[in-house]
Structure 1
Amino acid sequence: MSHSDAILDRLMSLHPKVIDLSLDRMHRLLAALGNPERRIPPVIHVAGTNGKGSTQAMIRAGLQAGGVRVHAYTSPHLARFHERIRLAGDLITEAALAAILEECETANAGQPITFFEITTAAAFLAFSRVPADYTLLEVGLGGRLDATNVVDAPRLTVITPISIDHTQYLGDTLPLIAAEKAGIIKRGVPVIVGPQQDEALRVIEARASGLTAPVFAHGQHWMAAPDRDGMIYQDDHGLWDLPLPNLVGPHQIQNAGTALAALRQLGATAAQARAAVTQAEWPARMQRLRHGPLVDLAGPQAELWLDGGHNPAGGEALAATLAAMPPRPTHLVCGMLNTKDIAGYLRPLAAHACSLTAIDIPGEPNTLPAETTAGVAASVGMISGVAADAGAAIAAIAGRDPKARILICGSLYLAGRVLRENG
């Protein structure tokens, strides 16, 4: 176990709850650290239910192509915690991570604080000490009471599409959830709004209006659409004619649009816009695995794909992606957390999959039992079964159908395990 892993394990035990939305503990710890959040480069703050990570990755790719130095904070991680913190473009080193975690642990002095709060404070500390031009901050959960929402005057806020998820923390209607996400809007700070359902957009616009924050909303102030074999982005400043995003799936055109609207606010060039859509990297979002032991198990004629989406909107996006791909018999290997709307996620996929093999997420106490996942899959009309793990599922599918498209899906936690297992 690395030094940082040992500290991260200790930090897990400082608060009985994994999630406890409040900013009091965060303000206390940041004060003890000398308020590093006031000394970080200008912030682009990103909230939303789906597409936060992809949108942030595209903004980062566009900025960096212009020689701009960018810090980035994202969660959860897939293979290693270090993925959450990028300093001027590079993943934080083990030595730097261990040092800031120890500093935060000492400053916190054993008081109750959640794992996400104390690690977010650590990210602010790291960002305050390394020069950069911008800081990209992805909200962990919600917005209004999220640990990232302690920056008083960001340069820009961004709200990606909102749907119903995490109802036990954020409320069970779209307007309630939208109100939590809109909590990142700050007085006078422009807000870029991705495609929204009307009732969510109304909440966002009302909040922005009360804070005199200029709104740049999809469909009103900008649009993005497929065009021949690429895409176009258009706003009041003109039109960008661009290649398709290198992140796979029709929904990525709208994520690209949201990123491009943000880049336009920051004065980006056409070359930066092109880099945003062609150079972004964001693992486990319809990612093709091309090497490794799991790919070997699938065999030379099969395709192996990985996607971490997990809520109904994620299921719909994945279904649309599969519908747009060249036809090939598609078999799902699925593991999910027990907090999710399983039927809502699987229902859109039923028309696109020949079968679903359910597995437990290894090492995850909140995994949904494979039998339960398989039962829900059967109830929405899928041929389903269970396997001991991803490797066994892949081998069985490839044995039946050597030319299969095998898609591992249902959870970012499962995706992280698969990426580690596949080397």
Structure 2
Amino acid sequence: MESLGHFGVDLSLERMQVLLQRLGQPQAGIPVIHVAGTNGKGSVCAWVSHVLWAAGYRVGRYTSPHLVHWRERIWLRGEYISTEDWSQSLAQVRDTLQSYPPDEPSPTQFEVVTAAAWLYFRQQAVEVVVLEVGLGGRLDATNAGIDPIVTAITSIGWDHWQRLGNSLPQIASEKAGILKPGIPLVCAPQTPEVMAVIQAKAEALGIPVQVVQPLEWVGPQTVRWQGLSLCLPLTGDVQLINGAVALGIVERLRQQGWSIPDAAVKKGFDLTRWPGRLQRVQIGSQVLLMDGAHNLPAAQALRRYLDETQPGPLTWYIGILSTKDVSGILSTLLRPGDRLFTLPIAGHSGMDPEQLAQLARERQPYLTHVQALPDLSAFLTQLSCPEASTAPPPVLCGSLYLLGQVMQECLRWDLAR
């Protein structure tokens, strides 16, 4: 992976279009359900792909980022891409890149992986692909040369402003760049300024827009939709919106003639798991709540969930990328009486734990304890020390990359087995 393409974000469709052309346009003609938004994209993709799988379709799914292994990004009918198929797809991209002229711009890692996914899906003769936007939408690699049959936009909030624009309408405009003429859009409820941008784009393209209403709980982890009782195993009220978007996509597919019986919807929702989102794991004697909460809207959703389920002081283990709204995330999450331990994010532009701890001391003087931890070994030691057994409940958050590292190193969790 390190030798194929350069790491980082460089929003443009040109490199991806050239790469797909040289690979023989593997994505051409494959029906796509394209999902953009700030938060909830992965959950929506997980639900829709499981419902289509339960309905008997040969469905592929492409999401990002991964938690433990790159192969998690590419999924087909209940299984991640095998090591052999992953290697073969990457090798085919590599061979194509080796034929590039010296002055040809090289693709990014994300573009390479996206191209490898399309090669795999073509080789596996998928009937439909559920495709998550990587960043933004208009210039994202997933938006190159595809044939969507439904598009969807989950909740839009303040994130990646450095690349998408320094206002919510600008960010919304970039995400609405996935809309295609005449292709229906399923949309989560948005703020008026965001909705105005999406509606204007949709009207210009002649697109029918379905703005979903959040589902409602009718029992523990249970909602009702069109007379069906559905299990919502993904925790938190924010999933009432994400679940509604997923079901809105199902409804649109049914209108287009896709055979998705009620039993498949029910089974698909029952089967869906999406690690790293309000997930509780056992480490030693401690039960740790893990959640990505990698931007301000996600932090707000996590805080609402905790206010409802675990009021009172908490012990936080937090690592945050330096490109995020660090101050906003900390002020949203932390409360008087809380304890905070800051963590590094290996291999990524994480904020230095000492700097993060110092920022918290300055902005949140009401914390009872603040300490920077140098690595995950120190995290494990702290989590299992005698003092921790009587401390407030522990929560790990701030980055999906951090969660993946904890899963791999501390839980020996092989998600890509």
Q: Same fold (TM over 0.5)?
A: yes
Letter in 2 for 1:35: Q
3-state SS, counterpart of residue 139 of structure 2: coil
Return the match for 1:337 from 291, 306, 321. Answer: 321
Compute the TM-score of the two structures, normalised by the length of structure 2: 0.89
Compute the TM-score of the two structures, normalised by the length of structure 1: 0.88
Q: How does 1:230-379 map to 2 (within 5 A)?
A: 230-232=221-223, 238-243=226-231, 245-267=232-254, 268-290=260-282, 295-296=283-284, 299=285, 302-327=286-311, 329-351=313-335, 354-364=338-348, 366-378=349-361, 379=363
Task: Check whether the contact 1:387–1:393 (CA below 8 A) recurs between aligned residues.
Answer: yes
Looking at structure 2, the residues matched to 229 and 217 of structure 1 have their Cα atoms a distance apart, in angstroms, of 26
3-state SS, counterpart of residue 224 of structure 1: coil
- Provide Cα deviations, 1:341-390, integer angstroms capped at 9, x if missing partner: 011112221238721101111343x1201112212333134342212234
Matched residue, 1:392: 378
3-state SS, counterpart of residue 357 of structure 2: helix
- Provide Cα deviations, 1:175-225, integer angstroms capped at 9, x if missing partner: 100010000011111111012111111111111111111111124xxx422
Identity %: 38
Matched residue, 2:257: none
Letter in 2 for 1:312: L
Matched residue, 1:81: 70
Task: Check whether the contact 1:331–1:353 (CA below 8 A) recurs between aligned residues.
Answer: no
1:88–1:228 Cα change, 3 Å: closer
1:136–1:78 Cα change, 3 Å: same
Task: Check whether the contact 1:342–1:376 (CA below 8 A) recurs between aligned residues.
Answer: no
Relative contact order (alpha carbons < 8 A, sep ≥ 6): 1 or 2 greater? Answer: 2
Matched residue, 2:218: 227
Letter in 2 for 1:136: V
Matched residue, 1:169: 163
Q: How does 1:37-56 map to 2 (within 5 A)?
A: 37-40=27-30, 42-56=31-45
Looking at structure 1, the residues matched to 338 and 114 of structure 2 have their Cα atoms a distance apart, in angstroms, of 42
Letter in 2 for 1:273: V
1:226–1:151 Cα change, 3 Å: farther
Looking at structure 1, the residues matched to 73 and 397 of structure 2 have their Cα atoms a distance apart, in angstroms, of 21
Instruction: Give the deviation of 1:328 after TM superposition.
Output: 6.6
- Provide Cα deviations, 1:15-41, integer angstroms capped at 9, x if missing partner: 4x611111111111111111111043x
Instruction: Give the deviation of 1:411 after TM superposition.
Output: 0.6
Cα root mean square deviation, aligned:
2.0
Looking at structure 1, the residues matched to 36 and 119 of structure 2 have their Cα atoms a distance apart, in angstroms, of 21
Task: Check whether the contact 1:232–1:239 (CA below 8 A) recurs between aligned residues.
Answer: no
Task: Check whether the contact 2:221–2:235 (CA below 8 A) recurs between aligned residues.
Answer: no
1:122–1:230 Cα change, 3 Å: closer
Matched residue, 1:180: 174
Instruction: Give the deviation of 1:327 after TM superposition.
Output: 4.8
Q: Does 1:29 align with 2:23?
A: no
Task: Check whether the contact 1:36–1:128 (CA below 8 A) recurs between aligned residues.
Answer: yes
Letter in 2 for 1:204: I
Looking at structure 2, the residues matched to 391 and 353 of structure 1 have their Cα atoms a distance apart, in angstroms, of 25
Looking at structure 1, the residues matched to 192 and 267 of structure 2 have their Cα atoms a distance apart, in angstroms, of 31
Unaligned stretches of 5+ in structure 1?
1-7
Instruction: Give the deviation of 1:269 after TM superposition.
Output: 3.2
Letter in 2 for 1:97: W
Matched residue, 1:153: 147
Return the match for 1:189 from 173, 183, 207. Answer: 183
Q: Does 1:102 align with 2:91?
A: yes
Unaligned stretches of 5+ in structure 2?
255-259, 413-417
Q: Does 1:9 align with 2:2?
A: yes
Instruction: Give the deviation of 1:170 after TM superposition.
Output: 0.3
1:231–1:201 Cα change, 3 Å: farther
Instruction: Give the deviation of 1:77 after TM superposition.
Output: 1.0
Letter in 2 for 1:142: G
Looking at structure 2, the residues matched to 53 and 352 of structure 1 have their Cα atoms a distance apart, in angstroms, of 33
Task: Check whether the contact 2:47–2:243 (CA below 8 A) recurs between aligned residues.
Answer: yes
1:353–1:104 Cα change, 3 Å: farther
3-state SS, counterpart of residue 210 of structure 2: strand
Task: Check whether the contact 1:287–1:306 (CA below 8 A) recurs between aligned residues.
Answer: yes
Q: Does 1:57 align with 2:46?
A: yes
1:193–1:233 Cα change, 3 Å: farther
Looking at structure 2, the residues matched to 376 and 255 of structure 1 have their Cα atoms a distance apart, in angstroms, of 33
3-state SS, counterpart of residue 50 of structure 1: coil
Looking at structure 2, the residues matched to 156 and 138 of structure 1 have their Cα atoms a distance apart, in angstroms, of 12
